[in-house]
Structure formats: structure tokens, C-alpha cells
Amino acid sequence: MPIFLTLLLAILTIVVLLRKRVMIGLAILAAGFVMWLCNDRSLMTFWTSAVETVTLPRTYDLFFALYFVMCLEVQLRKSGTLKKMVDALNRLFSSVRITLAVMPAFLGLLPSLGGARFSAPIVQQASANMTISPEKKAAINYYFRHIFETASPTVPGMLLACTITGIHLSDFVLHLFWFAVLSFIAGWFVMLAPLKKFDHVKKPEDTGASRWVDLGNVALAVSPVVLNILLMLVFNMPAGIAMGVAVLALIPTFALLKRPVPIIDIFKDAFDVKLLLNVVMILYFISLLTGTGVLDETLAALKALPLPMPVIFALISVLMGLLTGMSQGYIAMIMPIAAAVAPGSLVYAGIGMVFGCVGQMLTPVHLCFTISVDYFKADFLKTLKSIFICEAILSVVFAAWTYFTWA
């Protein structure tokens, strides 16, 4: 069967199953089964791919990194640190716009399926005294929640991308961090700068002592993320170990600050069986992609096309993002291609990450988009308008930067 037809059937399988609310890992693994039927049909391939999945160190590093990210989310939420951070930001800044941008962005560092539902009430509360349309609120909540999607060591998509490509997480974060900053700037000027005329919030009087308390609450909330990044950059720790150290460090810290979280709750509530099963099934799919020969045939077909390979790869990445609406989905499909085209290349991995994210941000398949529109009772197309402008700006700038810095 022609390789592009095989890929089309695999993609359609993912899309159909996702629309039927089948878990992402199972949908992707089903696509791997379709590829196996079209291209291999050897039972030995199933077995060798399974053995490879459970024996590679990358599987366990990713598994523990994601688990400890969920532990961190439990600690910050149950200790009340997240709430204290919101209150502190509202007191520290006279502009509600800063809170509207910072809080969804920070909560995006603690990923969970449909996590836009956590930040939506904060956006609603922070903007209560401002004249903002439901569509603008939905766009702000959705967009700013995902600005670190391509540059955070706690985002599952980044962890998975590095696992597949073999690129060190700290290197990938440094490579794309400027893009996260650009995402914030674009979102600020497109969505928040026009709201200045409505931002008439009087800064409350406070003593020097209360200001230090507020700064301490903000610092405490962001400290585990900063510690995690430093451990990986300075000590070259694997992501799983670095995140585990950050989680363990918070246990005595919260106890000393009289914000204890029961240890059993931390490790029990964070054990998201569905998320961890998704990881295993996605990694199994990656092994099948290689074992069935689909990846090699795809590379050969892509290289035969009349367009430059980076352009083809970027277009495919956008398409995968549009169709799956999940970082794990498009990363599972495109990062093996990036790793095969140019092993260890930050440039190709960056193209896949950025343009896949652009597609993901513009599709109604993305659960966070649906949740935001539904929560604020917003119109879908009107909400999409400002997001599309931001993503268009980001795509043009990133494409130009990649072209002029290509080595």
C-alpha cells in the first residue's frame, strides 16, 4: 500500500477515535496497529517493539518525570500556595492585565488534561470589574495557558519530544525559550494592550512587610519549577530525577511554613493511571513506527517531493496539530521523522514543536479550547480570531528566524 495512504488511514484512525473520546494513547496505538496491518503483519514485530518499549531507559525517565509533575501540582494546590500566589499578584500589581496573563501561563506549567478549566475561574474573577467580552476572556485564558508549551521542562509534550529525539531537555528548552517570550509579547499586544482603557484598578495600600509576604508567596510557587530547570542545566540531571528532587524538597519546606500536605496524598493523588498508560502506549507506537518500516518509507517519500524538506516537515507538523489537538498526538507522529531526518537536530525538532503547536492552538479538537469557549459562553469563531492573529505572527517570525539562522 502507498505510504501516504497508510499515513492517511492512521491519522483518520486517531481523529475518529479522539472524537469518540477514546484516550489519546489508545487512539495513537490503534493507528500503529493500522500501520502494522498495512505494512508488516508480522507478530514478531509486535513482540520486539514491546520489548524495546519496556527496556529503553527513556521510557522510565519520561514515566517518572510526568508522575512527579503531577505530584508537584498536588502539592501546590493542596497547600494553598496557588491561591496565595493569585492573591499576591492582585495586590502587587495595579494592572489586572498582568494577573490575566501570568496566572494562566503559570498554571500551564502544571499540565493536566483540560487544565484550562482551572485557570478559567481565575480569569473570570480577575476581570470581574473590567468590560471584557466573553470571547476575549476565553481567548486570554486559552492562549496564555499554552505560551510555555514549547519551552517548559514540565510540559508532557516537551518531555516526550526529547525522549523520542534523544535531545537533552535543557538544550531544547534553551533553544526555544525565546519563542515562549515572543508568545507572551504577541499575546500581550494583541489581546491585553487594547484593554488598558478598562484597567482602572486602584492599587491597595500595603506595608513593607505585606509586600515581602506577597513576594515570598510568588517566589515559593515558582521555586520548584526554577529548581527543576537549574538541576537539569547545571547538574545535567535527567528530567525524572530533577522533578523528583523538587517534589521532595517541597515536603519539608511546606511543613516548616505550616502548609503541610499529607505525604500519602501527594503520591497517591498524583498517580494518574490514564496519563501514565498513555505514555506507555505512545512509546509503543513509536517502536511500531520504526519496526514496521513505515518511518523509513515515509522519509524516502518526503525526500522525493519537490519542496524543501523543512517546508514539508513544517506543513506536516501543522496538519498533525490540527488533526489531533494534543501535543502528545502530533509529537508522537512527527518527532520520529525529525529524529530520522536529522538525528539530534535542535532545528528540526524545533520546527516540529513550534508548527505542531500552531496547529494544535487553532483546532476545535483541542480540549482546552472547547472548555474555554464553553466556560465563558463565548462564540467559537470570534474567540479564534485573536488567537489566529497571534499564531500567524509567531509562525512568520519563527519561519524567518529559522531561515536566516539555518546552519
DSSP letters for 73-139: HHHHHHTTHHHHHHHHHHHH-S-HHHHHHHHHHHHTTS--TTTHHHHHHHHHHHTTTS---HHHHHH
What pLDDT digit, counting tens, does each position of 205-247 carry? 655 667 888 888 888 988 887 887 788 777 878 878 888 898 9
Confidence of residue 204 (pLDDT cuts 50, 70, 90): low
Residues 188-195 have a mean pLDDT of 91
Above pLDDT 90, what percent of the chain?
A: 20
Q: Give the span between the Cα atoms of 6 and 56, in whole angstroms.
A: 27
Sign for the pseudo-dihedral over CA of 235, 240, 241, 242: positive
Q: What is the pLDDT of residue 208?
A: 62
Of residues 385 and 368, the one with the higher pLDDT is: 385
How far apart CA 379 and CA 145 sit, in angstroms, is 19
pLDDT in tens, 236-268: 788 788 888 989 999 999 999 989 999 999 998
**Residue 311 clears pLDDT 70, i.e. is over it:** yes
Note the pTM of the prediction, 2 decimals. Answer: 0.71
pLDDT grade for 293, boundaries at 50, 70 and 90: confident
Mean pLDDT for the stretch of residues 291-301: 80
Q: Is 306 helix (H, G, I), strand (E, B) or coil?
A: coil
Res. 80: pLDDT tops 60 = yes
With both helix axes pointing from N to C terminus, report the angle between 24-39 and 273-291 in degrees, rounded to the nearest 10: 20
Residue 17 has pLDDT above 70, yes or no: yes
Residue 145 pLDDT greater than 70, yes or no: yes
104-139 residue pLDDT tens: 888 777 655 555 766 777 788 778 777 888 999 999
Q: Would you say 279 and 66 are in contact if contact means Cβ atoms under 8 Å apart?
A: yes
Residue 189: the pLDDT is 94
pLDDT at 353: 94
